[in-house]
Amino acid sequence: MTTAYDLFSRRGVRAVGVDSIIAEAGVAKMTFYRHFPSKDDLVLAFLDRREQLWTKAWLESAVARRAVAPRERLLAIFDVFDEWFHQSDFEGCSFINVLLETYEPDHPVREASVAYLANIRVFLRGLAKAAGAARPDDLARKWHILMKGSIVAAGEGDRLAAQRAQAVARLLLDSELTGKTRVRHA
């Protein structure tokens, strides 16, 4: 699992074959298949581990350490991302990568990626509600778009993407939390 986690994080799930994982991990093929009957089972375990390590242990914890007030916690996400984007081993978001690598809409791996991304929005919705947003789900979805967009931009090489996203996020918060501009959705 440790070897698969590292390879999938750095190279993506489609680019890494089971034989590569087995060879790098130094385990027998039969041992591997006893634990993971298919590559999809391994990818699902990887995504679950990614949520524990990336979403819970890293992102949510780092945001909580940086700020107390919900509004400031929302903004702190981009401070955490800024540090991440400047790391030499920045690998992007595995949930986004797996989602884009898996084309079949009802594939279990794609569905898992969608679910893990939705779990991030649950975290954001809680912060938006605590910050006093009139429509916390709407704000959480907008915030998540900024987050995902900044990750993709950083993947393109824009190491200032988190700072740029945070500038837009401040405008969004001013609009959403002070009621200056209310955009109605159909």
Architecture of domain 40-178: Orthogonal Bundle (1.10)
Q: Which two tokens stand for residue 177?
A: 């939390």
Listed ranges 1-5, 9-13, 78-82, 103-107; the one with the highest mean pLDDT:
78-82
State how far the Cα of 99 lies from the Cα of 91, in Å rounded to an integer. 15
Eight-state DSSP code of residue 156: T
Residue 113: Cβ-neighbour burial (10 angstroms; 0-12, 13-18, 19+)? buried
Give the per-residue pLDDT at 179. Answer: 62
Give the per-residue pLDDT at 178. Answer: 80
Torsion of CA 3, 9, 14, 18, to 10 degrees: 0
- The per-residue pLDDT for range 81-102, each reduced to its tens digit, is 999 999 999 999 999 999 999 9
Smallest CA-to-CA distance from 13 within 46, 59, 61 is with 46
Integer-rounded Cα Rg, in Å, for the chain is: 18
Give the per-residue pLDDT at 124. Answer: 98
pTM: predicted TM-score of the whole model, two decimal places: 0.90
State how far the Cα of 8 lies from the Cα of 16, in Å rounded to an integer. 7
- The per-residue pLDDT for range 37-81, each reduced to its tens digit, is 999 999 999 999 999 999 999 999 999 999 999 999 999 999 999
- The per-residue pLDDT for range 133-182, each reduced to its tens digit, is 999 999 999 999 999 999 999 999 999 999 999 999 999 999 998 864 44
Give the per-residue pLDDT at 181. Answer: 44
